Amino acid sequence: MTAKVIDGKAFAAGVRAQVAEHVMRLKVEHGITPGLAVVLVGQDPASKVYVKNKHASTIEVGMASFEHRLDADISQTNLLAVIDRLNADPAVHGILVQLPLPKHLDSNLVINRVDPAKDVDGFHISNVGLLGTGQKSMVPCTPLGCLMMLRDHYGSLAGLNAVVVGRSNIVGKPMAQLLLRDSCTVTIAHSRTKDLAAVCRGADILVAAVGRPEMITGDYVKSGSTVIDVGINRIERDGKVKLVGDVEYATVAAVAGAITPVPGGVGPMTVACLLANTLTACYRLNGLVELKGLTA
């Protein structure tokens, strides 16, 4: 079997086009421009690239983009004061604090300072709790993007066995919650899981979010299953820097029924879902009815 390639890049372009259309309508019909504020602390090269991409995509869909680049040695008090100002700013509907933060800052404290209604990352403890109890919340962007692609592929996910490899707060745990909410039978596997390959071979849906280059090989995968590769790893091969996922593409694509590539799979969906979340937050903050299909 050669797997169907799930084209995240094309899917994300469709989501962005939909967001752009509704941003325009918000402006014309309500005089509202959705605004996203991104806070970057320090000079982490990967984070700088992500923030630049987010800024460009935000502008492209017609939203306002507010970038706050802060010194790596900013005090906790001053960073919290920046967040307080963004919470109070009516032009800002979404706030994202780029992670990781420098070590002297308490990430949990910072994340939980963001107004939950503007928490487009879905990391605030109140959004985490709402998601876990099946209530309306802001949903983390990467798992939301994965869910959109899976729903599109299957229609209904009910009854499917899903294995999520990785237990991070950003991807693994919220991904598992979303799959559970769509009536999958969900297993969260991790570095201490016994016989990980056998556990993964039980999956109709396998989500790889471990951060280890090409760890999931063909022998982890059930024939005909769907493999979602969340990994973005830069490795050096043949003297060149290459972007690879957590999945060994060639061996897995030979077994799976469908697979997301790296690059061009989950990555573009994450940014598209950030814009979708900003639009959703803007609708909710203004007491407007949000769009189905752009939320979980």
96 touches ligand GUN by CB under 6 A: yes
Provide φ and ψ at 94, rounded to 5°: -130, 140
Residue among 39, 22, 85, 17 nearest 283 (CA): 22
37 touches ligand GUN by CB under 6 A: no
262 touches ligand GUN by CB under 6 A: no
Residue 141 CB, shortest distance to ligand GUN, in Å, is 6
Residue 190 CB, shortest distance to ligand GUN, in Å, is 18
128 touches ligand GUN by CB under 6 A: no
142 touches ligand GUN by CB under 6 A: yes
Catalytic residue among 18, 118, 119, 121: 121
121 touches ligand GUN by CB under 6 A: yes
246 touches ligand GUN by CB under 6 A: no
CB nearer to ligand GUN: give 167 or 222: 167
Other CB atoms within 10 Å distance of the CB of residue 197: 12
* Catalytic annotation present for 177: no
Catalytic residue among 98, 173, 177, 229: 98
Residue 270 CB, shortest distance to ligand GUN, in Å, is 6
Other CB atoms within 10 Å distance of the CB of residue 95: 28
Residue among 18, 57, 24 nearest 274 (CA): 57
Other CB atoms within 10 Å distance of the CB of residue 88: 9
Pairing of strands 240-244, 233-237: antiparallel
Stretch in the footprint of ligand GUN (CB under 6 A) among 97-105, 160-168, 183-191, 243-251: 97-105
Contact (CB, 8 A) for 219 and 197: yes
State in Å, rounded, how far the first CA of the chain is from the last one.
31
From 97, 157, 186, 227, residue interacting with ligand GUN (rule: CB under 6 A) = 97
> Can you give 243-266 as a three-state secondary structure string?
EECCECHHHHHCCCCEECCCCCCH
From 98, 177, 226, 295, residue interacting with ligand GUN (rule: CB under 6 A) = 98
As a whole number of angstroms, the distance between CA 140 and CA 123 comes to 7
SS3 state at 155: coil
Stretch in the footprint of ligand GUN (CB under 6 A) among 2-10, 96-104, 210-218, 226-234: 96-104
Rule CB under 6 A: which residues touch ligand GUN? Answer: 96-99, 121, 141-142, 170
Residues identified as active-site: 54, 98, 121
